[in-house]
Amino acid sequence: MASAKNQGSHTAKYGVFGNRLTQVMELVGLSNARLARECNVDPSHISRFKGGLRSPKSNEKLTEAICRACFACVKEQNLTDSLCDMMGKNDMSSADMDALYEDFKYWLCDFTTSDQATALDLFYSIDNYYPEEFAVATPSEELLNALIAGRKDCYEGMEGLQQASLCFLADVYQSDAKQILLYSDFPTDWMVKGEEFIAKWAALMTACIKRGVCVSIIHNIDRDVPEMLEGLKSWLPLYMSGAIDPYYSIKSGGERFYHTLFICPGVCTVVGWQAADDRTFGPFFYHKGDAMVNRCCDMYETLHKSSHRLLRILMDEPRIEEGDQIRQLEAFPNIRIIRKKDQIIVQRLIEPQVSFVLYHPLIQDAFTKLLGAF
């Protein structure tokens, strides 16, 4: 829902390769300068490779030179056992050096981008999901009453936003409401800090959904693909319920202010803002009056008109049409991928049977490239 500012070109796009190269160089004590000399490149190239900002994927000679130089240091220092441990290879101590080198080269030269890696991780999460993993206790009457009794008109700071969100969900639950509307382009820090808060939030949100509350969310377009996919993964159990209706705003977020709108039509709303460079969080105002709740509903509806659907959940079998491309990867026996002209469908073939229809062009591109790598 919330988003930190997109870091663009500074994102570690080739993080897998960069992390593995860093591990090997640290294992053998190989400096950037020495590896650069061995490969006849500037040390800044090695630094970018290690940071995941660049890769030698398009330069076969440079790729080979990096692999040869690193592997030579491993052999010189008799560190093949340590290298095998790092690669997750068991009982390789007696392996032929040429065969071990090929395994090493294959392991090191994983040029999976961060987008593809996160898409792969989402496959794993969908494939391995079990409903009992999200068995969350129903919130107690004591918790609900305490939240309602402690409700304030104004909240400050990260903990204030957390408390406001809990009070909001408690109000939603006790009112038997049928819909909530959520938008926030605040950084996500507040949603992932504090085990006690996370447990209460999960319990309240799950309880609301079990009571039939539908959740409409507008995501911020400035999220990069890994952030969007991580968000989908973290909300996976809730998405499985079919109660989440996610969209993304096609308008770029500003760099001056962050905004938050949590709305339960006819019940309450939380409204907040702050200067983008101000990390104090807040103020956040809690309103119960019809006038402000209705005004916030109007604002949300205006934003919704300039938003596109992020994904849709299908509980029924997706329809296959002429021209659709269907893939089922050996690594994911319980998942089928259907590539349509303007969407990708990730279909879970075991109970609970559900399909994720993905619409965002960047997410579609990440999945397309991932499928091409298999």
- At 207-228, the pLDDT tens digits run 999 899 999 999 876 666 766 7
Return the pLDDT at 149: 94
Return the pLDDT at 125: 80
Q: Within a 10 A sphere around the Cβ of 293, how many other Cβ atoms?
A: 18
* Mean pLDDT along residues 346-366: 86
Distance between CA atoms of 156 and 145, rounded to whole angstroms? Answer: 22
- Predicted TM-score (pTM) of this structure: 0.69
Return the pLDDT at 4: 37
What confidence tier does 9 reach under pLDDT thresholds 50, 70, 90? very low
* Mean pLDDT along residues 148-153: 94
Q: How many residues does the chain have?
A: 374
32: nearest Cα among 43, 16, 17, 40: 43
Q: What percent of the chain has pLDDT over 90?
A: 44
* 7 has pLDDT over 70: no
Q: Is 95 exposed, middle or buried (0-12, 13-18, 19+ CB in 10 A)?
A: middle
Distance between CA atoms of 192 and 63, rounded to whole angstroms? Answer: 39
* Mean pLDDT along residues 304-321: 90
* 253 has pLDDT over 70: no
* 91 has pLDDT over 70: no
- Digit-coded pLDDT (tens) for 167-181: 999 999 999 899 999
Query: Long-range contacts made by residues 194-203, C-beta under 8 angstroms, separation at least 24?
Result: 194/159, 194/162, 197/162, 197/166, 200/139, 200/143, 200/166, 201/162, 201/165, 201/166, 201/169, 202/134, 202/136, 203/136, 203/137, 203/138, 203/139, 203/143
Report the range of poorest mean pLDDT among 135-144, 176-185, 346-355: 135-144
| Structural class in CATH, domain 8-110 | mainly alpha
Burial track 177-209 (b if 16+ CB lie within 10 A, e otherwise): bebbbbbbbbbbebbeeeeebeebbbbbbbbbb
Which part of the chain is CATH 1.10.260.40? 8-110
* 105 has pLDDT over 70: yes
Average model confidence (pLDDT) for the chain? 85
* 166 has pLDDT over 80: yes
C-alpha of 349 from chain center:
23
* 59 has pLDDT over 70: yes
Return the pLDDT at 357: 92
Return the pLDDT at 374: 59
What confidence tier does 236 reach under pLDDT thresholds 50, 70, 90? confident
Q: In this structure, which topology does domain 117-309 adopt according to CATH?
A: Endonuclease; Chain A (3.30.870)
* 202 has pLDDT over 80: yes
Which contiguous run of DSSP H or E holds residue 91? none
